[in-house]
């Protein structure tokens, strides 16, 4: 189990922001489901899995996911107790996924309150497999009720600050899992079998605030593009722009117990860097922040983005120069629109000093 978690999460490190670490581990009565992990490892397997996942990818958020936990019942109470125990004992868990395979006219009365009680534990809550099924062929009355039900569900999530994601479980009714599992039922999605928008589609858009969103492989607005931005995983994700050596520094830290230290610089432009090529979107505005501290000296430091397009490299200043020193941490911050014409082959975010070769550390870095 640990090998699988480590292998898969390391393969996708930096590309996945939320992992479904353990899925569907409880029976309807709140007892543990019988499977190879439960039977061979025992009750600790879920905690062990989350601990292994945090070690494999410290920057990703870790989720537990299940069905029929949308209302307060024996199953959701068991999941709630597990999450509560994990939070109090230090087992890493960041979110709970509510699959939300629902039925027209039967949205749980306490749906929002149930999401909120989980959020109050200090975890994000997400609707991970949303669909709302009905008897088929669909009647006008049920389609109209589906409009109200989708609106209720989406608004419940929107009302909770820690409800951070909603995923519909399929695109069109012609390719839904529902008819194959629930005989005589279907029409659960926002598009019909001909990929035409159903009445519920517009109500979802309205409940979201009227905007449409285009899926993109880059992080959503507000997500940190950088891996290990808090540096608590040592030098994971960090490298050198130019010459020098990066090391994990536990002597000083802005937050937590680690920072990243660069020594052996031979030029002012040598810096602590991350490659962000696959995580940039052309034309987007990005904001960056990072805390910097020298080992000696008071140079001016700044944050730069190096873009290599069609074989030529240009430099974008993300955070302008500010004086840093050895007596405390200095915040560098700024923003810029990142755009290019042609083929982007490499993009590197890095912190440098405007003059000198002093060793310096960074901590709590973001680029979003």
- Amino acid 221: pLDDT: 58
pLDDT tops 80 at residue 249 = yes
* Residue 218: per-residue pLDDT: 45
pLDDT of res. 213:
44
Annotated catalytic residue within 8, 24, 232, 352: 24
Q: Is 24 annotated in the active site?
A: yes
0.95 exceeded by the pTM? no
Over residues 56-86, the pLDDT tens digits come to: 999 899 999 999 999 999 999 999 999 999 9
Average pLDDT in the chain:
92
Mean pLDDT of 186-206: 91
Q: Tell me, what's the pLDDT at 360?
A: 94
Predicted pLDDT of residue 215? 42
pLDDT tens-place string over residues 2-47: 999 999 999 998 888 899 999 999 999 999 999 999 999 999 999 9
**Is residue 70 annotated as a catalytic residue, yes or no?**
no
- Each residue's pLDDT tens digit, 292-351: 999 988 999 999 999 999 999 999 999 998 999 999 999 999 999 999 999 999 999 999
Domains detected in the chain: 2-207 (3.20.20.80), 239-367 (2.60.120.260)
The rounded distance, in Å, linking the Cα atoms of 74 and 135 is 27
Instruction: Name the pLDDT band for 358 (thresholds 50, 70, 90).
Output: confident
Given 8, 28, 70, 129, the catalytic residue: 129
User: Residue 77 has what pLDDT?
Assistant: 98
pLDDT of residue 211: 53
Question: Up-side HSE of residue 368: CA atoms within 13 Å toward CB?
Answer: 13
pLDDT at 100: 98
The number of residues making up the chain comes to: 368
Reported confidence tier of residue 256, pLDDT bands at 50, 70, 90: confident
* In the chain, % of residues over pLDDT 70: 96
Grade residue 217 by pLDDT with cuts at 50, 70 and 90.
very low
Q: Are 88 and 39 in contact (CB under 8 A)?
A: no
Within 10 angstroms of residue 239's Cβ, the number of other Cβ atoms is 16
The band of 222, judged by pLDDT with boundaries at 50, 70 and 90, is: low
3-state secondary structure the chain: CHHHHHHHHHHCCCCCCEEEEEECCECCCCCECCCHHHHHCCCCHHHHHHHHHHHHCCCCEEEEEECCCCCCCHHHHHHHHHHHHHHHHCCCCCEEEECCEEECCCCCCCHHHHHHHHHCCCCEEEEEEEEEEEECCCCHHHHHHHHHHHHHHHHHHHCCCCEEEEEECCCEHHHCCHHHHCCCEECCCCECCCCCECHHHHHHHHHCCCCCCCCCCCCCCCCCCCCCCCCCCCCCCCEEECCCEEEEECCCCCCCCCEEEEECCCCCCCEEEEECHHHCCCCEEEEEEEEEEECCCCCEEEEEEEEEECCEEEEEEEEEEEECCCCCCEEEEEEEEECCCCCEEEEEEEEEECCCCCCEEEEEEEEC
Q: What is the pLDDT of residue 233?
A: 92
């Amino acid at each position: 189990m640990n090998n699988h978690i480590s292998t898969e999460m390391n393969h996708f490190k930096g590309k996945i922001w939320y992992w479904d670490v353990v899925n569907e581990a409880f029976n309807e009565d709140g007892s543990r489901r019988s499977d190879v992990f439960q039977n061979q490892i025992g009750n600790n397997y879920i905690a062990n899995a989350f601990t292994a996942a945090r070690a494999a990818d410290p920057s990703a958020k870790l989720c537990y996911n299940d069905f029929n936990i949308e209302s307060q019942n024996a199953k959701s109470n068991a999941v709630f107790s597990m999450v509560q125990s994990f939070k109090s004992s230090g087992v890493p868990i960041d979110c709970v996924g509510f699959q939300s395979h629902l039925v027209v006219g039967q949205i749980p009365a306490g749906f929002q309150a149930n999401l909120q009680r989980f959020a109050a534990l200090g975890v994000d809550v997400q609707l991970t497999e949303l669909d709302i099924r009905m008897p088929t062929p669909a009647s006008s009355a049920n389609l109209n009720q589906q409009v109200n039900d989708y609106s209720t569900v989406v608004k419940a999530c929107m009302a909770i600050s820690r409800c951070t994601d909603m995923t519909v479980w399929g695109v069109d009714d012609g390719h839904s899992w529902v008819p194959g599992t629930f005989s005589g039922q279907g029409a659960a999605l926002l598009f019909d079998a001909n990929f035409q928008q159903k009445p519920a589609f517009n109500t979802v858009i309205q409940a979201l605030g009227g905007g449409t969103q285009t899926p993109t492989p880059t992080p959503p607005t507000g997500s940190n593009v950088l891996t290990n931005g808090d540096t608590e995983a040592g030098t994971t994700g960090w490298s050198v722009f130019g010459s020098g050596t990066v090391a994990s520094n536990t002597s000083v830290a802005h937050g937590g117990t680690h920072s990243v230290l660069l020594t052996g610089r031979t030029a002012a432009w040598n810096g602590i860097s991350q490659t962000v090529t696959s995580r940039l979107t052309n034309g987007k505005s990005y904001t960056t922040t990072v805390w910097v501290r020298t080992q000696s000296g008071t140079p001016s430091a700044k944050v730069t983005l190096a873009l290599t397009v069609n074989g030529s490299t240009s430099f974008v200043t993300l955070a302008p120069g500010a004086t840093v020193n050895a007596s405390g941490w200095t915040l560098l911050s700024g923003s810029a629109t990142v755009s290019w014409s042609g083929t982007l082959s490499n993009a590197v975010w890095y912190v440098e000093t405007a003059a000198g070769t002093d060793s310096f550390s960074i901590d709590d870095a973001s680029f979003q």
